[in-house]
Amino acid sequence: MEPIVSVTGGKIRGRTTAGVSAFLGVPYAAAPVGPARFRLPTRVPDWPGVRDALTHGATCVQSPYAPPIHALIGSDGIPGDEYLNVNVWTPDPGGSGLPVMVWIHGGAYTRGSNARAIYDGAGFARDGVVLVSINYRLGISGFAAVADAPLNRGVHDQLFALRWVRENIEAFGGDPNRVTIFGESAGGMSVATLMASPLSKGLFQQAIVQSGNGSAAVRVEDARKLAGELAGRLGISDTADDFGRLGPDQLRIAQDALALELMSDPDPARWGASIIANGLGIMSLLPVIDGEVLEDRPVDVLAAQPDRAVPFIVGCTAEEFRFFTVPTGIAAGITADTLPFVLTRYGIDPALADIYGANRPAATPADVFAAIITDRAFRSDTLHLARSNAAAGAPTYAYEFAWPSGIDGLGACHVLEVPFVFDALAGAHALTGPNPPQSLADEIHSAWVAFAEHGDPGWPRYESDTQLVQIFDSPKSAPVSNPRADELAALRKSVS
């Protein structure tokens, strides 16, 4: 069966399989190519007749992941100009009033797309949710603070996509007043940004941050400094016209080279203090505190603006940073002698290693490093967001994904919870190992569906007195009050 619906731009044809109708690669904005790459998104032009929406659309220019990471999660790279597109899965395009979830992919704001197998929305649609996954501008295209171009173009794309959802989702059976946004990694950071932004009012009613944080935003002057570095590297002036004349591969090569240079020499005087502190010397292109999209770091806005609280799930994996240290070989180079140096690089007092090490007597220095940076980059901020949202009176639910991957050394690493959330384990064995527990996928996926349907995932709320965090694990999950509180308290005191 090939269902046809009408959306902004014209009619589209999808495909129905096993009771789920999918519409893939649907443009929600005009193609941002040439000079338009550095302008705000605009309405997609009308097309004649019925447009096929049967295959994934183009992706924003990006390089493949390095081989060790590519082996775990693959890479993205579908050529084409119409890379501002959405995928929609629905159980009933002729229905009405269904809850809607909008997925924002991760990739450090420089990689990723909505075309990945572990983001397949069929499982959500099977269970009564209309699932939308979006693409947005990445890297230089989306986040370089080019002197005469609008800032935060990638976030403006996300806002534009959410307006498209509000205007079109009824055509797929969805309710525009029952929208939950969710995302992982940079997608989770994007969700926090959208929660904090005054421009997002009315575009969603609930939110989920997976393995993100609320600190990934930089000052305008630092972002301008980095854009100037890019322009100098490319031999152009720092203008939208000059950047717009470059081909996608020129932009990709320049942003890759700059990222490598920043990681090898994370000097705040050169790159800007907020880029090094809030990007942890890893991410170079981030949302900008521009006074329009963002008034401050999301974590600070949400603490100061209780009116922006919404029903909220927030959490991370127990060993996020092992994803970045084990497969890349970084872990092998962290010894008792080098650990103090690498902690200092991240602005952390090396004495903190004694506390984490004492709590993990069998841990190697690399294990201790991964535990500390997991908390520094993810867990501490995650719980800060939970506290602020709960203090504002909105239903708030915190979680930690603790099941360790079957791939040796990864543990409960970054990205690992995503195929469980989507109930898409079959396409994730390179990350999970060959025998991931389906029962855990049933549990966490059902919790996300329940939250989308009625705002309660089925575990106790996070409150200031109890501080309950749902620990997802197999064979049993359970809420725990303020897990590893001594480590977080010591971390907050030690960060310079």
Q: Are 415 and 444 in contact (CB under 8 A)?
A: no
Report the catalytic residues: 185, 320, 414
| pLDDT value of position 209 | 98
Give the confidence band of 482 by pLDDT, cuts at 50, 70, 90.
very high
User: What is the average pLDDT across 85-94?
Assistant: 97
| pLDDT value of position 44 | 97
| pLDDT value of position 265 | 84
Query: What span, in angstroms and rounded, lies between the C-alpha atoms of 258 and 247?
Result: 17
User: What is the average pLDDT across 243-264?
Assistant: 91
Query: What span, in angstroms and rounded, lies between the C-alpha atoms of 477 and 273?
Result: 40
Q: Are 121 and 198 in contact (CB under 8 A)?
A: no
With 80 as the cut, is the pLDDT of residue 496 above it? no
| pLDDT value of position 327 | 94
| pLDDT value of position 395 | 98
Q: Are 472 and 487 in contact (CB under 8 A)?
A: no
Q: Which CATH architecture has domain 4-219?
A: 3-Layer(aba) Sandwich (3.40)
Q: How many helices (H) and strands (E) does the chain have?
A: 20, 16
Query: What span, in angstroms and rounded, lies between the C-alpha atoms of 59 and 46?
Result: 21
The residues, any chain, with a CB within 8 Å of residue 374's CB and separated by 6 or more, are 316, 317, 318, 319, 320, 321, 322
Query: How many CB atoms within 10 Å of residue 17?
Result: 10
Average pLDDT, the chain: 95
User: Tens of pLDDT along 431-451?
Assistant: 999 999 999 999 999 999 999
User: What is the average pLDDT across 412-429?
Assistant: 97
User: Tens of pLDDT along 347-399?
Assistant: 899 999 999 999 999 999 999 999 999 999 999 999 999 999 999 999 999 99
**Backbone Cα Rg of the chain:** 22
Going by C-alpha positions, the residue among 94, 22, 166 that lies closest to residue 13 is: 22
312-494 in CATH: which number? 3.40.50.1820
Q: What angle do CA 459, 463, 464 make, to 5 degrees?
A: 155
With 90 as the cut, is the pLDDT of residue 345 above it? no
Going by C-alpha positions, the residue among 51, 62, 218 that lies closest to residue 140 is: 62
| pLDDT value of position 346 | 84
User: Tens of pLDDT along 153-211?
Assistant: 999 999 999 999 999 999 999 999 999 999 999 999 999 999 999 999 999 999 999 99
Query: What span, in angstroms and rounded, lies between the C-alpha atoms of 434 and 496?
Result: 42
Query: How many CB atoms within 10 Å of residue 264?
Result: 8
Query: What span, in angstroms and rounded, lies between the C-alpha atoms of 106 and 103?
Result: 10
User: Tens of pLDDT along 96-149?
Assistant: 999 999 999 999 999 999 999 999 999 999 999 999 999 999 999 999 999 999
Query: What span, in angstroms and rounded, lies between the C-alpha atoms of 117 and 136?
Result: 18
Q: Are 197 and 155 in contact (CB under 8 A)?
A: yes
Distance of alpha carbon 75 from the chain centroid? 15
Domain ranges of the chain: 4-219, 312-494
Query: What span, in angstroms and rounded, lies between the C-alpha atoms of 29 and 457?
Result: 33
Query: How many CB atoms within 10 Å of residue 213?
Result: 26
- Largest separation between any pair of C-alpha atoms in the chain: 67
Distance of alpha carbon 79 from the chain centroid? 22
User: How much is the pTM?
Assistant: 0.97
- Sign of torsion, CA 335 336 340 346? positive
User: What is the average pLDDT across 235-260?
Assistant: 92
Q: What is the secondary structure of 92-127 as a DSSP string?
A: -TT---EEEEEEE--STTTS--TT-GGG-THHHHHT
The residues, any chain, with a CB within 8 Å of residue 233's CB and separated by 6 or more, are 254, 257, 258
Give the confidence band of 494 by pLDDT, cuts at 50, 70, 90.
confident
Please check whether the two domains, 4-219 and 312-494, share a CATH topology.
yes
| pLDDT value of position 323 | 96
User: Tens of pLDDT along 258-290?
Assistant: 999 988 888 888 888 899 888 877 899 999 999
Percentage of residues of the chain with pLDDT beyond 90: 92
CA end-to-end span of the chain: 59
